[in-house]
Amino acid sequence: MELQSILLVILKLAGALAVFLFAMKLMSEGLQKFAGSKLRHILTKITGKPTSGILAGTGVTAVIQSSTATTVMAVGFAGAGLLTLAGAIAVVMGANIGTTVTAWIITLFGLGGGGGEDKVPLMPMVIAAISLFFIFSKKNKMQYLGQTIIGLALLILGLGLMGDSVPPLDEEVAHTIASWGQWGYWSVLLFIVVGAVLCIILQTSSAMTAVILLMASQNWITPEIAMALVIGQNLGTTLTAQVVAMTTGTTGKRTARAHLVFNVVGALIFIIPFYPICHGVMFVSEHLDKMLPSIPLLPLAITVFHTLFNVVTTLILAFFIPQIVKVVTWMVPDKKADEGEEEFRLTYLEPNLLSTAELNLQSAKSEIEEFSKRVLRMYTFLPGLRTAESEEEFEAIMQRIAKYEDITDRMESELTKFLTRVGSGDVSQHASERVSTMLRIIDNLESIGDAIYQIAMTRQSKREDAVHFDAGLNANLEHMQELVEKALAVMDSNLHDYDHVDLDAAYTAEREINQYRDRLRAQHLDALKLGVYDYAIGNAYSSLYAQYEKLADYAINVSEAIDGSRKHVDD
């Protein structure tokens, strides 16, 4: 074959693969938008039993056609405390079963579902025509369903284009490929590695599944080679997840390791009796092929093997989830207190993983909860500035507060960029409102960080100017600090459940702070008139209680932003 012909074949295959990948993306996005927040609701209702997690992971992945999206949701929920690590592992196991639906769609509709060569081009057109009943609907849900149907039509069209782009296999090349499968278990290991590498290159198990099925439909590979590639594909997709998890927190890393453990153990289970399993799969597939005569035998056998691999591995390992939790906890140990906490790190945001606002917003919500956790941690440093016994101790605390202030600035910047990208996309009205709410929340969280830093700077100026408070003034400020701490705790609690905001508790906390500030202000003015303390002491004192009260204003702003339905007039 001439170089020009080879390049033409490569371009045609690349174009057909691009159509297939775009179709998968379009279909997945449409399904995710159509399902909306119900997906999150399903996962948050998972019980401690592995069965519920596996079924939820299978169902959600089968619906949205994206195991990555399901896994990221599980990681986000686990990090937010809505899902245990064991529950997240069960969901990931279920997601592996859910991915087999993609292979069945390709096999049934893309490789023979048309009922013959003359009907194959007609099927995607018929499916696309059905979408006309939905895409012009005034209801967003129906439009998303239409998008899903068009995605399915393009997927089938892309598979057809891929099949048409593949030239007949040269006899010598066919003989060479067949010879590679004559080395027994060494051949199995070779093609497992090949499958893993190809999956890493393609960055999607769905595309790899399509490639394997296409090669099988063209009789390029033997059943044994195809099934070894399937095992390799399952390993390859976990390696991709490891790279992604490098930027996540402890729970994300543990979930990714569990995914790796799952597929490695599954590979070992299937490698040892590999040839008997292959023969058994071919036997079953031959009987299925009699009921589905339009579908090529080998692609059908590969799909059966793919399903068998994930289902059997899940059924076996579901009984060992507690042990898997121990293994991944050992692989990714808990950080020591404060270790890594004072470094800038976004834990849940992975912009390249999710493609729809509904799922991106869950990641953003988890990140905002982490933001709040850091702000509350930063607040706990303030008492140490008053009780520090040496300059070294005082300076060390100031440095920690300054570092946290820098972290809050950077978190606010990154979250704003992320949410702006989400809001500028194709989002529903509900998602658009949620983006606006989150932007207001992170702005106020960053302002809380600034307020804490300003209090610390006032303490530093007071120390440098040798300004000393008596026991009464210190007690007053300590009580104000405790009231603000309660307000921050209410704010943090409200951030965990947007649908059940305790705004009354937030208002009660703020009223107590405002009333106490008014009381301190009146006492302060009287003290200045009576000359109880000088101007320097009075200025530092009034600045501090005013800064604490201002900090509390930002806390109530967060709760109000979440609630969004009640207005509050400042005292």
Cβ–Cβ under 8 Å, residues 101 and 388: no
Is 378 part of a structural domain of the chain?
yes
Is 15 part of a structural domain of the chain?
no
Residue 30 has pLDDT above 70, yes or no: yes
User: Does the predicted TM-score (pTM) go above 0.85?
Assistant: no
- Among 15-24, 205-214, 349-358, the range scoring the smallest mean pLDDT is 349-358
Is 35 part of a structural domain of the chain?
no
- Tokens in use for 403? 């570092």
Is 401 part of a structural domain of the chain?
yes
What do you get for the CA distance between the two ends of the chain, in Å? 83
CA–CA gap between residue 523 and residue 544 (Å, rounded): 14
- Domain final position from 319, 334, 349: 334
Is 38 part of a structural domain of the chain?
no
- CATH value at residue 463: 1.20.58.220
Kindly report the number of other CB atoms within 10 A of residue 456's CB atom: 23
Judge if 387 and 530 occupy the same domain: yes
Is 137 part of a structural domain of the chain?
no
Model pLDDT for residues 321-344, shown as the tens digit of each residue:
999 999 988 988 876 545 445 555
The confidence score (pLDDT) of residue 541 equals: 92
Residues above pLDDT 90, as percent of the chain: 28
Kindly report the number of other CB atoms within 10 A of residue 466's CB atom: 7
Judge if 307 and 449 occupy the same domain: no
Judge if 364 and 327 occupy the same domain: no
The confidence score (pLDDT) of residue 120 equals: 47
Cβ–Cβ under 8 Å, residues 551 and 484: yes
- Domain final position from 334, 366, 388: 334
CA–CA gap between residue 77 and residue 365 (Å, rounded): 10
CA–CA gap between residue 353 and residue 558 (Å, rounded): 28
Burial of 74 (0-12, 13-18, 19+ CB in 10 A): buried
Judge if 219 and 363 occupy the same domain: no
Calculate the CA 288 to chain-centre distance: 38
Cβ–Cβ under 8 Å, residues 467 and 535: no
**Structural domain span for residue 501:** 357-563
CA–CA gap between residue 438 and residue 366 (Å, rounded): 11
Model pLDDT for residues 169-182, shown as the tens digit of each residue:
555 555 555 566 66
- Tokens in use for 392? 């070294």
Q: In the chain, what is the greatest distance between 2 CA atoms, to the nearest angstrom? A: 106
Judge if 529 and 386 occupy the same domain: yes
Judge if 300 and 405 occupy the same domain: no
Rg of the chain (C-alpha set): 30
Is 345 part of a structural domain of the chain?
no
Cβ–Cβ under 8 Å, residues 30 and 144: yes
Judge if 243 and 326 occupy the same domain: yes
- Tokens in use for 135? 């895409």
What type of residue is 231? I
Mean pLDDT confidence for 63-68 = 68
Judge if 285 and 422 occupy the same domain: no
Judge if 287 and 408 occupy the same domain: no
Kindly report the number of other CB atoms within 10 A of residue 173's CB atom: 10
The confidence score (pLDDT) of residue 340 equals: 47
How many structural domains is the chain composed of?
2
- Domain final position from 334, 365, 388: 334
The confidence score (pLDDT) of residue 555 equals: 95
Provide the 3-class DSSP secondary structure of residue 169.
coil
Judge if 494 and 546 occupy the same domain: yes
Judge if 328 and 367 occupy the same domain: no
Buried b (16+ CB within 10 A) or exposed e, 192-222: bebbbebbbebebbbbbbbbbbbbbbbebbb
- Tokens in use for 219? 């009789």
Mean pLDDT confidence for 286-297 = 80
Q: What secondary structure letter does DSSP report for 336?
A: P
Is 556 part of a structural domain of the chain?
yes
Mean pLDDT confidence for 534-555 = 93
Judge if 286 and 241 occupy the same domain: yes
Torsion of CA 241, 244, 250, 253, to 10 degrees: 20
CA–CA gap between residue 396 and residue 398 (Å, rounded): 5
